[in-house]
Structure 1
């Protein structure tokens, strides 16, 4: 007599929204199907299967693996959530009595609902196939064959095997789960306002040349730079709107008239970093399983085949290094990122005349980016990192991806009592966040049923969405301690009996259905308050 189990989640993909949060959780639900059948034999008829299920456990587990030539192979268990679906001291009896000759086994479904930590990174692969960050469900059932306990038939082949069989038998099942992270939840508008940054710049890293004419430091230090970039950028998009504003503050009139802006350069940089072990900051932010549950003390459930080579010591590799990284540009092949401005561009000539509130010199542009870097692959990173393709910004214990907008500004300065001009290039980087937006689903339209159908015209049923597809996430309904969330900021509507007709809404009834919110400071208000900000443009050789 045999028992088998299989896992059927509501969805094989788990969707999370926003920044990783260790205090949030998501729900992963479904059923574990138990199947009981009577095996067919040429020597005896099918007998009734009687099995005693002692336990049924389900585990959600995540793992992160990397492989580089510098650090070798490293595996880490990200999380392990186990729930006992069936745990009884007396057990639960399953039998297929009356259905012994059926072609299909008898089946029972056991519901499950697991709380999944909300800080987990998205599933990803890099370099080698199937190595990276992965998740899965693993079920284990332990049962006893009651038919053997009561004694097999005299002429059964099981009579000879009974002394060698274990009393408690086990069966296993697994299911791969894909975890996806999206920037915003489905009910939030994808249009986001830009973020303003008052930045500090530094001189370009060039070899010092004593003969080169330099712009005085006291002039450069009076320049203010304000950059505006989107809060999030879609990885499937094609361009980024960027606004750069310039002005001087506290610079004398004659100095303002000598300063020009000649060139602006913009580059989008992606950096990928692999770590041999988690950093201390990661360990303090996220609750990783303890060392006792990490390899090699407790091996991963589904490790990459290359791990066995390192476990056996067949591949020693190079000396371990703490981290390995690569950096490349996301600009298209024919895009240089350099933009020449008009000649004789004395943008700050009138700043001293408006000392209280100088006018911002604004430059707006849209920078394109490519889904894959056009540069040739580096042989040292091709194996472990794979093609140089755009990835969402992420931070995980062993693998992280960061993005920056590198902006350079070239200034020229008319030297006093001379026809020569000094030139300086100031550089600054702004952190950029790439992410995935939830694709908008097309509206479902109903097809009218014809009144008099003919053989030539047939009615096509409207496809219905899968069950539970629009359910909110666990973190939207419950706190991390399991208490149900209640939004007290939205007042309840006034009670009106059904018999009473609804009156025309006046100002008093409208106040009970509209929540009050404080408007955020506009971009213009922010620009007026820049004078009170502490960081200004500073230069250093």
Structure 2
């Protein structure tokens, strides 16, 4: 085949900044390389001129999501399919004058595809025994051309060309593209010493529950527990490379009378961070409309995926069946703690946190803002996965909501309350509440190159091995969502200084050599 095409993107990965946004888009650019080489025949001693007519050239960015679970089986979904026509009219391609060159003639056709900002990240999930499934993206290119002529006059080549099809359609090799979502780290320092993100405040509605260590049925009166006010603070986001999460609890019992404050104690509290993964075999019509995925007519099995998982054939022919046809969801949840971490924190002292003595020892009443009892802890997370199940390693993922796969994180907290009744009996209960968490991936900070990593060429300082895409800031860092440019007014403008000499003319002189230059488009 004298013509071949190949997709060469500027980068095989695309970083999406910020939260998923249906109104935003990111650029994926590159070029499609078209190579033309003369055909070679057995009895031909010289190379001939080859001419083809490129009739069409398209490039398509397509994303797909597939899940495989032991209980709900296999489910595919086409996330997006974006096609761009790169050739609007026939183009004549020829290697005339370069027949004897060892390398084929090549042309590059650039493309720029807008990638929707809501797309989920590239990830692998599902039944590990069935192979890799999950969310994947790739570029595809198709070209249609007509074989015009061959400069060879050999009888054998003419005989072969008479039986060959004049119009051909060729496809480029599949070009995988990785999508990664990165959170923007605030420029201002965080109020927490262990997190780069600011703290979020939660006013908790704690629910009481019987303590497992107590076998009796006597419980703390509900009217006493309802008077306990709890305010919790955790970072509004946690990076995947962070190994601890700061937690601040503020307790107040101003509505408790003096006797209740003396009898009520907080002895300890327990913390756990849970990751919940939800797999779905069906997608609702509301989700299809909200996520703007292709309609049902463009979904499997009506329109198969370009690169489906091999197991899809077994389900289509009936060799594999869904064990539970009526079941549409499957869940995997586990703790992100190391097995050696119990998550229990003891409170120092006698636990009477609601008794507030005056610092001067007199009977003056303290303000309500001074009656908060503050508990602080750095909750450690397991740096590496330590367990394995049907879906693979129990590793941390970013929090995301996709049409077929969801990942959410919760921090579960339980306060152990002990209350001494008037007859001297002590009963205990736990106040339970959960805080939603957001686990994100952040960009790796750029490191200033040392002097040995630079090459001085005249007055230009060039950095070695530095991809230009890493030095460009994200669009959201330079512009607002409405397109207006972000201006940092905290940096003052430089003071005006008059020119050194009023009689001096302009420091720029015209370069007459530019008159002989031609613009290249």
- How many aligned positions are there? 479
| 3-state SS, counterpart of residue 257 of structure 1 | helix
Q: CA deviation at 1:284?
A: 4.6
Name segments (4+ residues, structure 1) moved above 6 Å.
Answer: 185-190, 448-451, 475-480, 488-499
| Alpha-carbon separation, structure 1, partners of 2:272 and 2:486 | 45
Distance change >3 Å, CA 211–CA 240, structure 1 → 2 = closer
Match of 1:408 among 404, 410, 414: 414
| Alpha-carbon separation, structure 1, partners of 2:206 and 2:415 | 9
Higher relative contact order (CA closer than 8 Å, sequence separation 6+) = 1
Deviations 1:140-177 (A, max 9, x none): 111111117xx974613453463452534333332110
Q: How does 1:348-367 map to 2 (within 5 A)?
A: 348-350=354-356, 353-354=365-366, 356-357=368-369, 359-367=371-379
Match of 1:134 among 136, 155, 162: 136
Q: Which runs of 5+ in 2 are unaligned?
A: 190-194, 358-363, 457-461, 502-521
Q: CA deviation at 1:112?
A: 1.1
Match of 1:486 among 480, 484, 487: 484
Q: How does 1:429-440 map to 2 (within 5 A)?
A: 429-440=434-445
Distance change >3 Å, CA 136–CA 254, structure 1 → 2 = same
2:169 counterpart residue number? 169
Q: How does 1:59-458 map to 2 (within 5 A)?
A: 59-88=60-89, 91-126=90-125, 127=128, 128-147=130-149, 153=153, 155-157=155-157, 159-160=159-160, 162-163=162-163, 165=165, 167-184=167-184, 191-204=196-209, 212-279=217-284, 282-320=287-325, 321-350=327-356, 353-354=365-366, 356-357=368-369, 359-375=371-387, 377-378=388-389, 382=390, 385-416=391-422, 418-447=423-452
For the 8 Å contact 1:3–1:171, the answer to whether it is kept is no
Distance change >3 Å, CA 83–CA 326, structure 1 → 2 = same
| Alpha-carbon separation, structure 1, partners of 2:206 and 2:26 | 42
Distance change >3 Å, CA 186–CA 312, structure 1 → 2 = farther
| Alpha-carbon separation, structure 2, partners of 1:124 and 1:445 | 35
For the 8 Å contact 1:260–1:344, the answer to whether it is kept is yes
Q: CA deviation at 1:113?
A: 1.0
Is 1:25 paired with 2:25?
yes
1:508 counterpart residue number? none
2:509 counterpart residue number? none
Distance change >3 Å, CA 487–CA 294, structure 1 → 2 = same
1:511 counterpart residue number? none
| Alpha-carbon separation, structure 1, partners of 2:480 and 2:34 | 33
Distance change >3 Å, CA 103–CA 155, structure 1 → 2 = same
CA RMSD of aligned residues (A): 3.2
For the 8 Å contact 1:65–1:75, the answer to whether it is kept is yes
Distance change >3 Å, CA 258–CA 281, structure 1 → 2 = farther
| 3-state SS, counterpart of residue 87 of structure 2 | strand
Q: How does 1:489-500 map to 2 (within 5 A)?
A: 500=499
For the 8 Å contact 1:24–1:479, the answer to whether it is kept is no
Q: CA deviation at 1:185?
A: 6.4
Q: CA deviation at 1:215?
A: 1.0
| Alpha-carbon separation, structure 2, partners of 1:21 and 1:280 | 19
Q: CA deviation at 1:326?
A: 1.1
| 3-state SS, counterpart of residue 468 of structure 2 | coil
Distance change >3 Å, CA 73–CA 501, structure 1 → 2 = farther
For the 8 Å contact 2:147–2:166, the answer to whether it is kept is no
For the 8 Å contact 2:3–2:37, the answer to whether it is kept is yes
What's the TM-score, normalizing by structure 2? 0.84
| 3-state SS, counterpart of residue 287 of structure 2 | helix
| Alpha-carbon separation, structure 2, partners of 1:487 and 1:147 | 55
What's the TM-score, normalizing by structure 1? 0.81
For the 8 Å contact 1:50–1:94, the answer to whether it is kept is yes
Distance change >3 Å, CA 193–CA 449, structure 1 → 2 = closer
Q: CA deviation at 1:257?
A: 1.8
Q: CA deviation at 1:469?
A: 3.5
Distance change >3 Å, CA 442–CA 282, structure 1 → 2 = same
Deviations 1:415-455 (A, max 9, x none): 12x1111211111110111111111122112339999xxxx
| Alpha-carbon separation, structure 2, partners of 1:6 and 1:187 | 41
